[in-house]
Amino acid sequence: MKNLFALIALCAITSFGMSQPHQNYKESSLVITSQNFERFWLYINDQLQNEQATESIAVRGLRPGKYNIRVQTADREMNTRLSLQAGNYNYLIEYTPRGGKIFLKSVNFNILANTSVNYQPYEMPQNGHHSPNPHHPNMPDYSQTPPPPPAPQPDVIVLPAHQFCTPDKFTNIKNIISSESFESNKLDIAKQVTSSNILTANQITEIALLFSFEDNKLDYLKFAYDFCFDKQNYYLVNEALTYSSSKEELNKFILSK
């Protein structure tokens, strides 16, 4: 009887020890957004992640490892392979100037996705039954192109597609603002370019530092908040302000939004 109990205990310990590494793995998150706000479908290892086309998507619960990634818009497709470690990965779908091809570009700022899903890797059923899909047994048939996104309804306002600022474009913008002799002209141009481009909190900070007067910096930073791509990082713009009273005023303005 003692020998039987010892054997059961040994099996339990062995089973527990084998299962622990799988339970304690660190997860990866993959976030992808479209540069042109174009809606897309995302496939990971040939598994569709979003049934409805979206402008941005966050996929949680990925195990660290290599994944086949396919991004498909209404008229374009891109395939690549990503190696993910534990942590958060943010990618931007960019478009080549010629040919309209798309590719993924890693970015160092967080992306607020409007669609969030938990990754569910496909598992083979244990009953041994086969699905009617002859190309991939036991897998849903995702070989067909998903339908294009539905056309906007007449009462839906479609915003113009803004463009992310490339380093060269942003340098040119700063040079144009700096070339103005009067602060009022600098402020007018800064507001114009901010409202027609997607800027990050770091870029907005750099523009604010081009002004000599605190009032103009504060005026610009209040205006730019609505156009900031990564609002969760807007605290970074405080670097451009000199006085604590200005920082407090900006904070109250943001909290009132």
Regarding whether 176 and 102 lie in a shared domain, the answer is no
126 part of a folded domain: no
Which CATH number does the domain housing residue 70 bear? 2.60.40
pLDDT for 142: 40
210 part of a folded domain: yes
pLDDT for 122: 60
212 part of a folded domain: yes
231 part of a folded domain: yes
> CB neighbours of 68 closer than 8 A, spacing ≥ 6?
43, 44, 45, 46, 79, 80, 81
Half-sphere exposure of 162 (CA within 13 A, CB side): 15
Give me the domain span that covers residue 101. Answer: 26-118
Which residues in the chain land under pLDDT 70?
A: 1-25, 97-99, 122-164
How much is the pTM? 0.44
pLDDT for 15: 39
Number of domains, the chain? 2
CB 41 within 8 A of CB 74: no
10 part of a folded domain: no
60 part of a folded domain: yes
> Per residue in 222-240, pLDDT tens?
999 988 888 888 999 999 9
Kind plus residue range of the DSSP H or E element containing 177 = helix 167-178
> CB neighbours of 152 closer than 8 A, spacing ≥ 6?
158
> CB neighbours of 193 closer than 8 A, spacing ≥ 6?
173, 176, 177
136 part of a folded domain: no
